[in-house]
Copies of this chain bind each other. A is one copy, B any other.
Amino acid sequence: MAERGDRFRPPVRRRVHEGVAEQLRDAILDGALPAGSKLPPERVLAERFQVNRTSLREALKVLEGLGLIAVRQGDGATVLPAEEASLDLLGPMIFRDGRIDSAVLVDVIEVIQSLLLEMSRLAIERHRPEQLVEIRRLRDQIADSSLDREQRFAAGRDVIVELSDMTRNRVWQMLARKTRNLLASPPLVAARAQLDRDPCDVVPIIDRCTESIEACRPQAALDSLRAYVEYLSEMALSLRDHADSERVSKAVAS
């Protein structure tokens, strides 16, 4: 048999904090450390792992950087929901020191657009009835004028997450949550607030979609969702234009 290329692996020097971080990470992903639970104090963990507190802290920093845990002084380290974990580098790429990088934003929107469409296809195919009820609940929440405006927008974003759950695919679920968190990030929310959109805009779209699904017309349902995605994109692009005009006015002023 031919020699496999990966037969000889680079002599990975196993660093202490790597071993610790890996064990903790797996414990979290396994569910042994459920979301919301607290890690033991650093000093205790260090003792238990038989490593110095410094090394243990380096491990915690890695996990914190990945968004798996949140650490607060005086309190401890709390396990975060794994699906919510880290936006990776998309966040830093889009939000260069607080301002929106409109060029990257366009790229992101383009990808999200594709993602949502493909995801929706699966969602429509695999959904369970009770999940349709959940979508309707969110729809009512969006339309409920007694609620806080931001809450209603948040419900709109949650539609994406609910759709991902309908796919019963963990990776889609992760991506959808990352997307929702991205859309919910302060710079984007603040920018959208200035556009003065109405959360209700999407309600008729959602209605058409749910009706189509119940009528077993997947193609029609997908077309409605396409409208929803395009609505999102349109909003994002007007954000871009807004950011660009701001940049221009600043450039002129200087």
Q: Which residues of A contact B (CB under 8 A)?
A: 2, 4-6, 9, 13, 17, 21, 25-26, 29, 54, 57-59, 61-66, 68, 72-73, 82, 85-86, 88-90, 92-93, 96-97, 104, 107-108, 110-111, 114-115, 117-119, 121-122, 148-151, 169-172, 174-175, 186, 189-190, 193
Contacts and interface: CB of A to CB of B under 8 A. Distances in A.
Given A62-B64, A65-B61, A108-B171, A92 B193 contact: no
A32 to B, nearest CB: 12
Contacts of A171: 90, 104, 107-108, 110-111
B88 A29 contact: no
Which residue, A61, A62, A86, has most C-beta atoms of chain B within 10 A? Answer: A61
B169 A110 contact: yes
In the assembly, how many copies of this chain are there?
Answer: 2
A189 B9 CA distance: 13
A114 B119 contact: yes
Contact of A29 (B5, B89, B110, B193): B89
Contacts of A115: 114-115, 118
A172 B85 contact: no
Q: Tell me whether chain A's interface is mostly helix, strand or loop, or mixed.
A: helix
Q: Among A5, A13, A122, which residue has the most Cβ atoms of chain B within 10 A?
A: A5
Contact of A107 (B29, B89, B90, B169): B169
Contact of A62 (B2, B65, B104, B149): B65
Contacts of A92: 25-26, 29
Contacts of A82: 89
B6 A190 contact: yes
